Every structure is written in structure tokens, then in C-alpha cells.
């Protein structure tokens, strides 16, 4: 039986933002809300990797290295 590969995660959580930026978790929650607000997403919407990269002008491959699995 062949197992399907689990797709890469595309959503960033505050803990991921904490690992990337080195800010406190509380600040990372605020950053996530700020990104959602800037993009017109709901207050508690998901922040995707492309959203974060466009907001902070970072490369996706650099951000993916810091994501916790």
C-alpha cells in the first residue's frame, strides 16, 4: 500500500512567526492580526506564507525553513 505524501503546511501560526522574527508570542499574535487587517481578511483569519512574505518582503524558501512541523 502506497502512502500519500502529506502536503506542506501553508498557514503560519504565531509560534512560526515567533521563530522567524524572534519576537514574543503576544507580539506575533498582533502581527498576524495586523497582516489580516491589511489584507482585508477576518479578524481571526489565517495568515498564509505568501501573505507573510509579501507583507515583510521576504523569500518563501527562507520562511519555510523556520516552520515547525
CB of 29 closer than 8 Å to CB of 14? yes
pLDDT, one tens digit per residue, over 31-49 is: 999 999 999 999 889 999 9
CA distance 65 to 59: 11
* Whole-structure pTM value: 0.82
Rg (C-alpha) for the chain, rounded Å, is 13
How many Cα atoms are found within 13 Å in the side-chain-facing hemisphere of 50?
A: 1
pLDDT in tens, 1-18: 566 666 678 999 999 999
Beta bridge pairs of residue 47: 12
Amino acid at each position: 500500500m502506497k502512502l500519500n505524501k502529506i502536503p506542506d503546511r501553508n498557514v503560519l501560526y504565531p509560534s512560526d512567526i515567533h521563530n522567524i522574527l524572534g519576537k514574543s508570542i503576544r507580539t506575533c499574535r498582533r502581527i498576524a492580526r495586523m497582516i489580516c487587517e491589511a489584507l482585508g481578511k477576518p479578524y481571526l483569519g489565517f495568515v498564509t506564507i505568501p501573505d507573510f512574505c509579501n507583507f515583510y518582503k521576504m523569500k518563501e524558501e527562507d520562511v519555510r525553513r523556520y516552520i515547525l512541523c
